[in-house]
Structure 1
Amino acid sequence: MAGELRSDEVDGVPVYWVPGERQLRASLWFRGGQADEALPRHGWMHLLEHLALHDRGSIRTPINGSVSMLHTTFDVEGEPDDIVAFLRDVCDWLRTPDFRELEHERRVLRAESATRRAGPVDLHLLWRYGAQGPGVVGYDEYGLHTADPDGLRAYAADTFTRGNAVLALTGPPPAGLRLPLDEGTRRPVQAAVPCDQRLPAGFAGLTGSLAVSGVVTRSTAGRALARALQRGLDGGFRHGTGVGYSAWSSYELVDGANAMITAGIDMLPEARPAVVAQTVEVLRRLRQRGPDAAELRDDLDREIRRIKTEPAEHWMPYAAAREVLLGGDVDGRDELIAEVDAITVGDVRQAADALWDNLLLSVDPDAITDPALEWLGEAPSSKAVPTGQRFKPAGWPVVKGELTVGRSSAHIDTDNGRTSAVYEDLAALVAYPDGGRQLIRRDGYQLRLEPAIWKNGPQAVTAVDAAIPPTLKIPMPPRDPDHIPQSQVTWRHKTTHLLKKPEIWVTLILLTLVAAGLLTGTPGEDLAPRGAVAVLLIAVIVALRNLIKR
């Protein structure tokens, strides 16, 4: 029957397809994505996907690959024989990887990464989850700098197995289909653990934009809420006040049970003073009353029409592959339609209430002073008393502050606040050849250590490197010399700073007078008074030294 999902098994790999007459497409899915990568290995899966597909595509047989939050896929379209050959060759490579093109693909992905900028969804994931789990998508692919053949080979062996794979097809399995993968088990889905921070809250986002996000139990009602949020922002800012445009929404799985809903809109500068209050009002209406009943019904009817009319082979096998790998149920078209049709205003209202409990809102940086929300920015203060070796700024005494490097943590105190990094709570240590270090905490906050900014800075860097496990270190290429932070304080600045203090120049005058007294003595004069003056001179010098050290 056309449109009916079928299943089979090839070499121990589940296969799902829908009968059709279109050109055959195949998508080999594996349970493993960006959320499974520790920050020092973020990008390893992307690198393996590129290496596996290197030089395999053609006009006759187009190919593609992707790494999402929870899955990695290898896609191909073509004649049945071409599909069979592609899947066999890719599985052979995944089972016994060849890394002759490692440096080439590493350079390609670095070039790609250099042009990529974190979008609003990436930023919300980072602020919500920090530098681990789903939050790593907001960071550069640091794994491109740490990847080596042995590590990649072990990573591939753990992921690309028959027990961790599902194949989706747009037609029945072609004759001769083989999936020669090694034995292995399904990779479990780790629960996405958010940072320990008070919510609802806001943070400074992208210029000229607004976005809100919240995590809800994955459900059809949650998807309806995402669309309702988009309509609410569009109605309030575009059709209402006329200060916004291009509203959008997304629904991103963060683990097997939950999804992050994000909605946003670009806005004009004149919207800044009231943007937070207006957004909170949109959310308040959804929490208290839910979406307009007629609008919701129209929205659900449109979804039902989409499910009924969109060719099943375009989405049903892929949805089945995703759910099987996540341990969920595989629903058919009738079950999905019934689920959408049963959604009520109350269901969406409850989802909105759940979203509010963990709401994050990002706005143009010029709008973060709105008192309607608590604003995130500075790292949570640590109550621990810093212990260890202490370093003063290279620009001291013009620049105040102190760096403390201990066996278990590092701390920086400046006029701008205090930043701490406990080594056992780090996600990564970014290391530059010039000695610059970024100690990235699991909550996403970081301590930046630039040796040129501190007296005996290289000594501080050596102590940090010795205390942090090598597995966390990310060796980076050299930085542009113009981008390496340097102390801007000169001896002239220091002298001017000191001479502005009355206690310094008064002490200098006294010191001059005392010295003059010592030098103007006459021959045969009693030396006792001069000895007393010498003692006074030493005391003045010591007092001056203590004043300068403050």
Structure 2
Amino acid sequence: MNARWLTLLGEELSELSGTVAPSLPEVHRTEVDGVPVFWNTGTGRLSASLIFGVGLAHETFLETGITHLVEHLAMRTVRTAHYENNASTEVLHTSFDVTSSPETVTEHLHRICAGLSHLNTAPLEVERGVLMAEQRGDGPGVVSWLPSSLWFGNRAFGLAGNVQVAPIRADAQRVGEWCAEWFHRGNAALVLSGPPPAGLRLPLADGPRRRPPAIRPFELAAPARTAIPNGVVGCALVSWTAPMACAAGVLVARLTDRLRHLEGLVYDIGFDHQLIGPRRAVLGFGTDVGDKYAARVVAAIRAEVAELGRTGPTPEEIAADRAGLAEQVAEPGFAHYRAFDAAMSELTGWPSAAEHQDLVLRGLTAREVAKAARELAARLVLCAPERHLPADLPELPGSPLPAVPGREARRALVGSTAPRGLRLVVGDEGLSTFYGDSPVPVSVVRYDDLAGVGVEQTDGQLPILHLFGSHGGSITLRPGDWRGGRALVRQVRARVDPALCFDAPDPMRLFEQS
């Protein structure tokens, strides 16, 4: 988006400043079999999304992916269908989607509901394999999972980037219990692109209304820096308001223009955010830049965030933000999104996005957006390779837990795969890792805070252990990496509750001899 285009846009919108702001599409609400139904008066084929208020954030580390298993098993009831349909499991919801004639949509939803009310777990072993194969594909981008993991560790919202464990260890009884607990009319909503068709029935079991997990994020001192292997990412826990969303959009646009169009360093700047409460969100923005350019990207982020907080957006940037939403409102698909947003508000108990959108359409002020940008700057955690991080920012520990006291293990002279400079401290209470001489731990895993332990069997005598703490620490313990490593693995495994152990899935494995 060049400056000339923005100027023309600003002139165009200024001419329209006396006109009434576009209004959001109306959303209708009714109920079918006790399930709230949200719909709009769209045209064309009927689209439906049967939504349940359960997703990754409701799971535990050891049951990550169990909702996905239920979704796959339920979809087997329509696996031979030749019309457009799909299903997905997200952080806060699971959705069963279909687009076709009213009669076909009605039949599809009936079969999904019947399948969930009497879940057939007999094909569980087949679906385990399907989910394991699905995991071998590309996972979520770093700007999606890193912010949540910083503030939640291996819990709730922080599970978004985790390897799924439930496909390995969950049995049929537990999968059936999970389905009964979450997939019922009390935790469901239906979104339609038109009026409910005649004969629509949703034969779901009864159950109580559920809500998102009430887990407090960690108290992290920010602004700060923390190391990641590659790329540059900015993360923040912020108040999610219309000015904050505008500030993030303007920031990403400025960074894209500077780093791509003016300096030629990146292809694009990714952005994502995840609501964690009624008016709070964790957000991330960044790029997979080459290591030699990381310092320049870090400097650009700091400069642009600071400048936006000082001077706010230009009139053209405010106009572009408003025009972008106005353009979306005019699109046919926006009405369906509004119905979906209303359904999610019903399931979560959180405000819908309509209030934010109305504020944007009426016009935000530069002062409001600048204030939001200053909040973003004050809470920003910059993530990049260690040697490219600014030294004037405090280093964020790899875990909110204090380092475990103990003795330092010595790196094996031959055959170690541990990165040079990595130090491992072994204590009675758990393990800590550090880089170089830094006193700030890279990771802390306490025995009393273990979320799970992946056991990677090898062709050696001892396995590789992948230890995960609830507070976000993770440490891989390979016998061949440390002097006395075999005794160390035996010692650690003796301290671990077997109920926390699982066979390490392929994405977690090192595939190396121990």
Residue 323 of structure 2 is aligned to residue 323 of structure 1: no
Q: Relative to 1, partners in 2 of residues 1:22 and 1:215: Cα closer, same or farther, differing over 3 Å?
A: same
1:310 and 1:224 map into 2 onto residues whose CA distance is 23
Tell me which residue corresponds to 2:279: 257
- Aligned partner (choices 15, 39, 42) of residue 20 of structure 1: 42
- Aligned partner (choices 373, 380, 394) of residue 374 of structure 1: 394
Q: Equivalent residues in 2 for 1:173-212 (5 A)?
A: 173-191=196-214, 193-205=216-228, 207=230, 209-212=231-234
Deviation readout 1:122-155 (Å, 9 max, x if unpaired): 2333234321122111221122212211111111
2:92 and 2:388 map into 1 onto residues whose CA distance is 33
Residue 158 of structure 2 is aligned to residue 138 of structure 1: no
Deviation readout 1:283-317 (Å, 9 max, x if unpaired): 10122222112211232123123213445543222
Q: Relative to 1, partners in 2 of residues 1:283 and 1:3: Cα closer, same or farther, differing over 3 Å?
A: closer
Tell me which residue corresponds to 1:348: 369
1:30 and 1:46 map into 2 onto residues whose CA distance is 12
Q: Compute the displacement of 1:28 (Å).
A: 0.6
Q: Compute the displacement of 1:454 (Å).
A: 6.3
2:399 and 2:481 map into 1 onto residues whose CA distance is 21
Deviation readout 1:195-225 (Å, 9 max, x if unpaired): 4443222334464x43322222232223212
Contact kept? 2:405, 2:427, Cα under 8 Å:
no
3-state SS of 1:63 partner: strand
2:302 and 2:126 map into 1 onto residues whose CA distance is 49
Contact kept? 1:20, 1:313, Cα under 8 Å:
yes
TM-score (norm 2): 0.81
Q: Compute the displacement of 1:453 (Å).
A: 5.3
TM-score (norm 1): 0.77
423-432 or 45-54, which deviates more: 423-432
440-449 or 89-98, which deviates more: 440-449
Equivalent residue letter for 2:270: W
Tell me which residue corresponds to 1:154: 177
Tell me which residue corresponds to 2:382: 361
- Aligned partner (choices 140, 147, 152) of residue 129 of structure 1: 152
Tell me which residue corresponds to 2:270: 248
Tell me which residue corresponds to 1:429: 453
408-417 or 162-171, which deviates more: 408-417
Residue 34 of structure 2 is aligned to residue 6 of structure 1: no
Q: Which has the higher contact order (CA 8 A, sep 6+)?
A: 2
Q: Relative to 1, partners in 2 of residues 1:385 and 1:125: Cα closer, same or farther, differing over 3 Å?
A: closer
3-state SS of 1:246 partner: coil
Equivalent residue letter for 2:185: R
3-state SS of 2:154 partner: coil
Q: Equivalent residues in 2 for 1:28-107 (5 A)?
A: 28-54=50-76, 56-57=78-79, 60-107=82-129
> Aligned residue pairs: how many?
478
Q: Which runs of 5+ in 1 are unaligned?
A: 487-550
2:273 and 2:432 map into 1 onto residues whose CA distance is 38
- Aligned partner (choices 296, 299, 315) of residue 318 of structure 2: 296
Contact kept? 1:453, 1:485, Cα under 8 Å:
no
Q: Relative to 1, partners in 2 of residues 1:420 and 1:267: Cα closer, same or farther, differing over 3 Å?
A: closer
Q: Compute the displacement of 1:253 (Å).
A: 2.0
Contact kept? 2:56, 2:92, Cα under 8 Å:
yes
1:218 and 1:421 map into 2 onto residues whose CA distance is 32
Q: Compute the displacement of 1:413 (Å).
A: 9.5
Contact kept? 2:403, 2:444, Cα under 8 Å:
no
2:395 and 2:180 map into 1 onto residues whose CA distance is 44
In our comparison, the structure showing a higher alpha carbon Rg is 1
Q: Which runs of 5+ in 2 are unaligned?
A: 1-23
Q: Compute the displacement of 1:97 (Å).
A: 1.2
Q: Percent identity?
A: 28
Residue 474 of structure 2 is aligned to residue 446 of structure 1: yes
Tell me which residue corresponds to 1:503: none
Contact kept? 2:234, 2:383, Cα under 8 Å:
yes
Tell me which residue corresponds to 1:115: 137
3-state SS of 1:116 partner: coil
Equivalent residue letter for 2:388: I
2:391 and 2:434 map into 1 onto residues whose CA distance is 28
Deviation readout 1:76-101 (Å, 9 max, x if unpaired): 11122221221111112212211122
Contact kept? 1:304, 1:337, Cα under 8 Å:
no
1:480 and 1:349 map into 2 onto residues whose CA distance is 42
Q: Relative to 1, partners in 2 of residues 1:256 and 1:189: Cα closer, same or farther, differing over 3 Å?
A: farther
Q: Compute the displacement of 1:348 (Å).
A: 1.6
